[in-house]
Amino acid sequence: MLSIDLAAVTAIDTHVHIEADAHGCFALDDELLAASAKYFKAGSDRTPVLDSIAEYYRCRNMAAVVFTVDAHTATGHPALSSAEIIGQAARHSDVLIPFASVDPHDGAAAVDKLRELVAAGARGLKLHPSLQGFSPDDPAIWPLYAAAAELGVPIVFHTGQTGIGAGLPGGRGIRLRLSDPMLLDDVAAAHPGLTVIMAHPSVPWQDAAISIATHKANVYIDLSGWSPKYFPPALVRAANGLLKHKVMFGSDYPLLTPDRWLEDFAALDIKKDVRPLILKQNAIRALGLSPA
């Protein structure tokens, strides 16, 4: 049960990765961790554990959505335990909102696992089509979406360029086209009761993401993974107008810190009345949060 004081927190960071656990295990192998850290020019604390992340956000009077990515089929690397993340997040229910991750390649077992994780306290599902190696418009995955809709939990999908595999030969086989947001238009159309969150400015497909979020009432955009000073002009215009109720603050911590994101966001040409929507109010609605 979450105990976040929604009136008191200054912002909700909708995109925070758990990439290490208390057992010394990591969400990615050494090569992928190093490549993503280089791409983002990440700081020295690349893999903070959940307890440290909770304190980090508590000190900033912010709440945060936390998750890992289960890509064991595509990468051959064992996933961190979403069940452990959910259990540990329960000790920090004043600041952390845990999401589950399952591997779509697991088929019916992935659906069963999602149900178990939501029953244990997961408030949403995180999927990364490029890293997990699946096309989100594949009807074979649709039972997973139907289960999420039935359970009333949103799915956040990675979209656009990814720092994972960046600069490596062949990008380590990671295919960017699987994270084209247009593939999610089929998902949103076929599952109108499912809340779809397109993660990140969807470079190089930003116009497509804006069109989808404008057209589909059940689609949102989180603004993580890019400093606001690099946001495409079309995205800034949409955030100020058509999509002012559909875009949300997200950092991509620990790769990009909320401190840097918020500092650059303060300098962005965003209307005064839109800022609180992006920083908190839109997330409250998209995530189905209610006062503690």
- Predicted confidence at residue 152, as pLDDT, reads 98
pLDDT classification of 50: cutoffs 50, 70, 90: very high
Average pLDDT on 79-92 reads 98
State yes or no: pLDDT of 44 exceeds 70: no
Closest CA to 101 of 132, 75, 74: 132
Total tally of structural domains belonging to the chain: 1
Task: Compute φ and ψ for 219, nearest 5 degrees.
Answer: -120, 130
CB atoms within 10 A of CB 57: 23
Please report which confidence band the pLDDT of residue 271 belongs to, taking 50, 70 and 90 as the band edges: very high
Q: In this prediction, what percent of the chain has a pLDDT beyond 70?
A: 99
Average pLDDT over residues 69-96: 97
Please say whether the beta carbons of 188 and 212 come within 8 A: yes
Could you report the per-residue pLDDT of 192-249, keeping only the tens digit for each? 999 999 999 999 999 999 999 999 999 999 999 999 999 999 999 999 999 999 999 9
Q: What is the overall mean pLDDT for the chain?
A: 96
Question: Domain of 191?
Answer: 11-286
- % of residues, the chain, pLDDT over 90: 92
Residue 42 pLDDT greater than 80, yes or no: no
Q: What is the pLDDT of residue 292?
A: 55
Taking the C-alpha atoms of residue 146 and residue 194, their distance in angstroms, rounded to an integer, is 8
User: How confident is the model at residue 198, as a pLDDT?
Assistant: 98
Residue 35 clears pLDDT 90, i.e. is over it: no
Asked if pLDDT for residue 32 goes beyond 60, the answer is yes
Q: How buried is 236 (Cβ within 10 angstroms: 0-12 exposed, 13-18 middle, 19+ buried)?
A: middle
pTM of the model: 0.96
Instruction: Grade residue 41 by pLDDT with cuts at 50, 70 and 90.
Output: confident
The strand order across the sheet containing 155-158 reads 125-127, 155-158, 196-199, 219-222, 247-248
Strand (E) or helix (H) holding 157: strand 155-158
Segment (H or E) for 35: helix 30-40
Residue 103 corresponds to which tokens in the numbers above? Answer: 């591997």
Q: 96: domain CATH number?
A: 3.20.20.140
- φ and ψ at 199, to 5 degrees? -80, 135
Residue 214 falls inside a structural domain: yes
Of the pLDDT bands very low, low, confident and very high (cuts 50, 70, 90), residue 43 is low
Q: Does residue 210 sit within a domain?
A: yes
Domain-embedded: residue 6: no
